[in-house]
Amino acid sequence: MTDPNAIQPSELDQLPDRDPEETAEWQASLDAVAAAAGPHRAAYLMRRTLERAEGAGVALPKLLETDYVNTIPTAAEPAVDGDEAMEQRITAWNRWNAAAMVTRGSKYGVGGHIATFASAAWLYETGFNHFFRGKEGDGSGDQLYIQGHASPGIYARAFLDGRISEEQLDNFRREAGGNGLPSYPHPRRLPWLWEFPTVSMGLGPISAIYQARFNRYLTNRGIKDVSDSHVWAFLGDGEMDEPESTTALTLAAREQLDNLTFVVNCNLQRLDGPVRANFKIVQELEAQFRGAGWNVIKTLWGSAWDELFRLDTTGALVRRLREVPDAQVQTYQTRDAAYIREDFFGKDPALVEMAKLLSDDKILECFHVSRGGHEPRKVYAAYRAALSHKGAPTVILAQTVKGHTLGEGFASKNANHQMKKLTVDEFKAMRDRLELPIPDSRFADGVVPYAHPGADSPEVRYLQERRAALGGPAPARRVHPVAPLPQPAEKAFTAFDKGSGSQNVATTMAFVRLVKDLVRDKETGRRWVPIVPDEARTFGMESLFPSLGIYSPMGQTYEPVDRDQLMYYKEAKNGQILNEGITEAGAMAEFIAASTSYATHGETMIPFYIYYSMFGWQRTGDQMWQLGDQLGRGFLVGATAGRTTLTGEGLQHADGHSPVIAATNPAALTYDPAFAYEIAVIVKEGLRRMFGEAKPGEDQDVFYYLTVYNEPLPQPAKPQTAGIDEGIVKGLYRFNTAESAGLSPAANAPRIQLLGSGTAIHWALKAQAMLAEEWGVAADVWSATSWTELRRDAMEADEALLRGEERVPYVRQALQGADGPVLAVSDYMRQVPDQIAQWVEQDYTSLGADGFGLSDTREAARRHFGVDAESVVVAALAQLARRGEVQATAVKEAREKYGL
């Protein structure tokens, strides 16, 4: 009977066969092998043939999975360039002190992780001894993304090296006293050691990819040659489930980032149990990375397995290793030899015969401890191969045992991530296992001692000599002394002072125009890094395409369809614009790399990232915290901002809350400018503070978040008022009074203060005129450029008061003497303007766009949320009526008049 699912000859007509007879011979040979030697032998031959074809450059789909064995066979491993016995002793000291530090800290209840570094020790130590370039040599050194839970091992090595004291080890996770160590890699808490915060799962991988890409960007643009820098990212196999971990794999392969290596610690365990209990995470990751175009190196089995593979003349062992799920491998690591003989070897007659040749000790050595990631020679071979590979990034899948060397109570136990300490007896057993000279007398009163061979010991001298040869200590963060950037010409900033006249201009367009002028500056223009996620035309940035170019390491290998147009799509190897495609996460990762270039490479860059405001703090807020953690500097620009300004788009695009989220980040200076000249003042101040001459005690490690709008509106001239720039920067200034607006209120007219931010100030200005002309109320209008900065200043004043210092918050100073109540309005939820309520002495109320967004015209949306000019008028009258300054009937009359 014919198989209905079989491919019929007619289906292959589109692939003409020039030699059907030769094809038939190949197929017959395959059938013969399958019949005579079995399907496993046939599959083996096919895999080897495909590998040969790939190596010969034959254009075939890549083989996505290889056998569950080491990529580099033992015979091909290069000799380690160093003293292996000495490195064993150094690693033993570091294992001990890492475990002792966490155990000693457990008495304070601060926690810590032991098992991760225990599994990954050789992955780090091999790199520190032979590969990781420091920052005291030429160039910028390497960039190391350390797995967060492995931090105790890094601290232990720094202790051995003399960079961290015993007192600091004892203050692990206890920083309040000022001499402690943060739990995880954190540049803001330990800025001389850590470069990259990595413990938020998934952010390390994507950041490493974009750091490697930004390194190429700096080199290709001629800013600095950092081609010798290599990016190393140490990751967990469970961490690879995070979408950010793999979202940019194809970018790394597409741009041939061979300056990047991922090292995935495949201990087969996540926090609660196996990563892939019923499957094989290594094989899954191999297929994923190979499919994305990466070079994959598997370092799975230790040298104890060599004998078993030599005995595997039928391929039965390799087949069995491929089929055993990860959870069962974990079980083998905790069971005796009899169980392994029966469950692993007993499934195949050939394996039963093999097991007869193996002692129990040999079986336990292989299945309990012998993993590729635990043998420095195999790790060394993998790292050397990674650095030698050109044209693609490399991932090393290193198999380890979680809790290795900590004893049977830890190794491969599901709960070992939550296990924070060892007993004294377990430490003594560990001491003997690691062959450390620590006498029992050191365990006084049951306290586990730290151990150090001595500052002048052979181990410490060797460690320091190896690091000196590689360019100094690592990890390390260095902020190179660089001259402050000069301020751009004043002309760029004053261009908006006269306003736009009769022309309506959106503040988004005003910002883009400002940047166009700033990138032309001879001194600082080349340091601007414009970043946009495939929305440049939305924000009016297409005019920058031909002048600045879009960065592409390949240049432009095609003729653009719009080549004959003035603003054509121009890609260039030295392009300045980073147009990231539809990836806000990728754009943020690029921004972080650019914003920290002053420290990573000693090159100050000025990044600005412009995006739909809804897709910033809401979608990539975790990365914005990472930006603050990493001490990044630059401008985040939330365009098409506000709940009601993006007409027609609706709920998923209507941002009514990003300033609330931004306000929670201490490093974010959040501004909601209303007018073009305000943007110029804020950007000028940001350039000075972050990249220029800082004032005494001023924190430069901040970033600016500006909201800008797509609604074309009149841009007024800058008021000629003393101190206006200070007010813009601090967050509040009076834009006009009823009198200066030409409204001529009566001498005894009720008065109210209207505070507006962003586009909402236009509603306030319209309401100002309506209040005067229709209700006899005098209103002064204030521009609140930053509710958040006002609040922070007020909080600092409160803290000063607790110290006995008298200080008046700026918001109170600004509003001092202003008659009447205060009504605040913005295009965000009321929580935004309400940030300052407790420090305003006048009666205070607010309007805002609370709730979910909706699709409609701007006018209808504003009426729906009760923030349009008519709603402002009614709210103002109600506030005055409560004070007895207008008749209560006026409120009802106004509601009816305006149809509210």
What's the confidence (pLDDT) of residue 273? Answer: 86
H helices present in 692-779, as ranges: 724-730, 760-775
What's the confidence (pLDDT) of residue 416? Answer: 56
Whether 553 shows a pLDDT value over 60: the answer reads yes
What's the confidence (pLDDT) of residue 48? Answer: 86
Helices vs. strands in the chain: H and E counts, helices first? 34, 20
3-state secondary structure of 459: helix
| C-alpha to C-alpha distance for 636 and 592, rounded to whole angstroms | 11
What's the confidence (pLDDT) of residue 412? Answer: 54
List, for residues 688-702, the tens digit of each pLDDT value: 999 999 899 999 999
Whether 10 shows a pLDDT value over 80: the answer reads no
For residues 759 and 825, is the Cβ–Cβ distance under 8 A? no
| C-alpha to C-alpha distance for 347 and 341, rounded to whole angstroms | 9
Confidence of residue 49 (pLDDT cuts 50, 70, 90): confident
The CA–CA distances, whole Å, from 137 to 124, 238, 258, 467, 474 equal: 20, 35, 21, 11, 12
What's the confidence (pLDDT) of residue 413? Answer: 59
Residues in the chain: 900
Whether 8 shows a pLDDT value over 60: the answer reads no
Confidence of residue 415 (pLDDT cuts 50, 70, 90): low
Contacts 24+ apart (CB under 8 A), 837-841: 838/794, 839/790, 839/791, 839/794, 839/797, 839/809, 839/811, 839/812, 840/811, 840/812, 840/815, 841/812, 841/815, 841/816
Q: What average pLDDT score do residues 538-549 get?
A: 90
List, for residues 184-228, the tens digit of each pLDDT value: 999 999 999 999 999 988 999 999 999 999 999 999 999 999 999
Backbone angles phi, psi at 637, to 5 degrees: -125, 105
What's the confidence (pLDDT) of residue 414? Answer: 59
What's the confidence (pLDDT) of residue 40? Answer: 84
Confidence of residue 873 (pLDDT cuts 50, 70, 90): very high
Whether 652 shows a pLDDT value over 90: the answer reads no
What's the confidence (pLDDT) of residue 446? Answer: 85
Q: How many CB atoms lie within 10 A of CB 225?
A: 14
Winning range, highest mean pLDDT, from 1-15, 76-90, 413-427: 76-90
What's the confidence (pLDDT) of residue 4? Answer: 43
List, for residues 95-140, the tens digit of each pLDDT value: 999 999 999 988 888 878 888 999 999 999 999 999 999 999 888 9
End-to-end CA distance of the chain: 78
751-756 β-sheet, strand order:
733-736, 778-783, 751-756, 822-825, 844-847
- Indicate the Cα dihedral angle 158, 162, 166, 170, nearest 10°: -20
Of the candidates 385, 206, 236, 363, the residue with the CA atom closest to the CA atom of residue 299:
385
Confidence of residue 3 (pLDDT cuts 50, 70, 90): very low
For residues 321 and 69, is the Cβ–Cβ distance under 8 A? yes
Q: Cβ neighbours of residue 426 under 8 Å, at least 6 residues apart?
A: 406, 407, 409
Structure tokens at 219: 């080199």
Least confident stretch, 78-87, 365-374, 535-544, 548-557: 535-544
Q: What average pLDDT score do residues 307-326 get?
A: 93
Whether 233 shows a pLDDT value over 80: the answer reads yes
List, for residues 879-897, the tens digit of each pLDDT value: 999 999 999 999 999 999 9
List, for residues 344-359, the tens digit of each pLDDT value: 999 999 999 999 999 9
Confidence of residue 248 (pLDDT cuts 50, 70, 90): very high
Greater confidence (480 vs 666) lies with: 666
Q: What average pLDDT score do residues 257-283 get?
A: 94
Whether 18 shows a pLDDT value over 80: the answer reads no
What's the confidence (pLDDT) of residue 1? Answer: 40
Structure tokens at 861: 């949306």
Least confident stretch, 299-308, 769-778, 850-859: 850-859
Whether 878 shows a pLDDT value over 70: the answer reads yes
Residue 624: Cβ-neighbour burial (10 angstroms; 0-12, 13-18, 19+): buried
Instruction: Round the average pLDDT of the chain to a whole number and report it.
Output: 93
For residues 706 and 679, is the Cβ–Cβ distance under 8 A? yes
